[in-house]
């Protein structure tokens, strides 16, 4: 079984190009947005192209199922925003994206790596300061 981990300090994260590729392979679209701030906080959103989004420090990513139109009034519920952190680390599509894109799949603070474990192992990801390892599940008490 293949599992994706982050192998450097910083933390797991897919580049925006990798997020776009993941969405294509999974069968949904993603759109990139910048927050527009006014005197009282966020006042609106501006849709960005992938290239514009890459130049930004922080971008919101909206998930839209194929066939749906994007809404002018962006919804606030968490279920419509795409978060790469929510992807299961053994997702075959995630594995494919990492294998296809190599270093280009890494977000700014990530160094993604595929590790292989036996299929019958119940596993979990252990993390310290963003560096991850795959460990066999075990019991612990506090």
Mean pLDDT taken over the chain: 89
Residue 91 lies in a domain: yes
Mean per-residue pLDDT for 25-34? 91
Rounded to an integer, what distance in angstroms lies between the CA atom of residue 98 and that of residue 92? 10
Residue 63 lies in a domain: yes
| Cβ neighbours of 94 (radius 10 Å) | 24
Of 63 and 43, the structure prediction assigns the larger pLDDT to 63
Residue 142 lies in a domain: no
Residue 119 lies in a domain: yes
Please, is 139 exposed, middle or buried when counting C-beta atoms within 10 Å of its C-beta (0-12, 13-18, 19+)? exposed
Residue 141 lies in a domain: no
Residue 27 lies in a domain: yes
Q: What's the number of domains the chain is made of?
A: 1
Rounded to an integer, what distance in angstroms lies between the CA atom of residue 12 and that of residue 131? 8
Name the pTM for this structure. 0.88
Q: Is the pLDDT of residue 69 over 60?
A: no
Residue 72 lies in a domain: yes
| Cβ neighbours of 42 (radius 10 Å) | 10
**What domain range includes position 71?**
2-136
Confidence band (pLDDT; 50, 70, 90) for 118? very high
Q: What is the pLDDT of residue 141?
A: 76
């Amino acid at each position: 079984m293949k599992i994706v981990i982050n192998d450097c300090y910083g933390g797991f994260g897919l580049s925006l190009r990798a997020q776009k590729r993941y969405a294509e392979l999974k069968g949904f679209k993603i759109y990139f947005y910048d927050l527009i701030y006014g005197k009282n906080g966020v006042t609106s959103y501006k849709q960005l192209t992938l290239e514009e989004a890459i130049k930004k420090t922080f971008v919101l990513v909206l998930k839209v199922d194929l066939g749906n139109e994007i809404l002018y009034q962006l919804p606030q519920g968490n279920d419509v925003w795409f978060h790469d952190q929510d992807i299961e680390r053994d997702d075959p599509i995630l594995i494919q994206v990492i294998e296809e894109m190599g270093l280009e799949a890494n977000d700014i603070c990530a160094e993604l790596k595929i590790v292989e474990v036996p299929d019958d192992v119940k596993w979990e990801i252990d993390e310290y300061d963003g560096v991850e390892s795959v460990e066999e599940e075990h019991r612990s008490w506090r």
